[in-house]
Amino acid sequence: MDTKIRIKSILKTTSLDTSVTGFPTFNLSQLKLQNELDFELPTNIRLGHIVEKIVSELIKTATNYKVVYENVQIIEEQKTIGEIDFILEDLKEKQLIHLELAYKFYLLDPSISSNPLKNWIGPNRNDSLSEKLEKLRIKQFPLLHHKATAATFDAIALNNISQALCLLASLFIPFNFKESLAPTYQKAVKGYYVNLATFMSLHNIEKNYYLPSKKEWGMDPDTNETWHEFINIVETLKINMHEKQAPLCWQKQGAEFIQFFIVWW
């Protein structure tokens, strides 16, 4: 994986703002980066950990923020009760910040609820934006003020630490979806989703495809160099549907690149 391309993809990803999350927002655009970052990424870690590693390196490279702590497990009675993603220092304001980071892919299912927030779900319907925000509200952010956390960070005054969320989100809407979205959602829309039958009906011989691995999700399709004909991916897609796994698909048609999920549901 090209680290520079992966870093650029993360910097371009929209961070859902306070109007959606209810938490103060930390945007990666706040980082003053003087040099283009490049380093060797570990190959044996999951996507979430890849993003954590890159964001950590970006903050360390920035001239206006400093990483004070990262990925600190909070332990009570020999049991891990949670983890603090980052404690940062805003070097200009001399302010410590408890930062929680997430990198998520959500699909819009308007049939779920009249509340737009509850309609963003994971590709396999086993997680959701509303559940993620609730976990942050009742567990992740309150963890800062747990007595076990105070024992872990005994050198700093936890009551003086502010809190912020960097929720990097790539959103996908139903194919031919015509309704308007709130601007903060619209900015994060990367593509659409279809079922397998619709995908097959939309195919023509001018189109080539690539099924990115989970570690490649969020990267721009136009940076990809390997493409396959329809016949070379359709059997894989049928297996995905049987196993109830919704893959991301990149499509190239001439000079046009798009991305979409193919869902089993």
Domain regions of the chain by residue span:
3-174, 189-263
14-70 pLDDT, tens digit per residue, is 999 999 999 999 999 999 998 788 888 888 899 999 999 999 999 999 999 999 999
227-254 pLDDT, tens digit per residue, is 999 999 999 999 999 999 999 999 999 9
Q: Where are the strands (E) in 77-188, listed by range? A: 79-90, 95-108, 120-121, 162-174
Q: Report how far residue 255's alpha carbon sits from residue 232's, in angstroms, rounded to the nearest whole number.
A: 21
Q: Which pLDDT score, from 0 to 100, does residue 133 have?
A: 98
Q: Which pLDDT score, from 0 to 100, does residue 154 have?
A: 84
Please state the φ and ψ torsions of residue 246, each to the nearest 5 degrees: -95, 105
Asked if the model's pLDDT at residue 1 lies above 80, the reply is no
19: left (phi over 0), alpha (psi -120 to 50) or beta: alpha
Asked if the model's pLDDT at residue 197 lies above 90, the reply is yes
Q: Which pLDDT score, from 0 to 100, does residue 33 have?
A: 93
Q: How far is CA 171 from the centre of its chain?
A: 10
Q: Which pLDDT score, from 0 to 100, does residue 86 have?
A: 98
> How many Cβ atoms are within 10 Å of 174's Cβ, its own excluded?
16
- Comparing CA positions, the residue from 51, 52, 42 lying closest to residue 72 is 52
Q: Which pLDDT score, from 0 to 100, does residue 220 have?
A: 96
Q: Which pLDDT score, from 0 to 100, does residue 208 have?
A: 98
Q: Report how far residue 42's alpha carbon sits from residue 45's, in angstroms, rounded to the nearest whole number.
A: 6
What's the average model confidence in pLDDT over 186-197? 98
110-161 pLDDT, tens digit per residue, is 999 999 999 999 999 999 999 999 999 999 999 999 999 999 998 888 989 9
First to last CA, the chain: 31
Task: Tokens 């796994």: give the residue.
Answer: 245
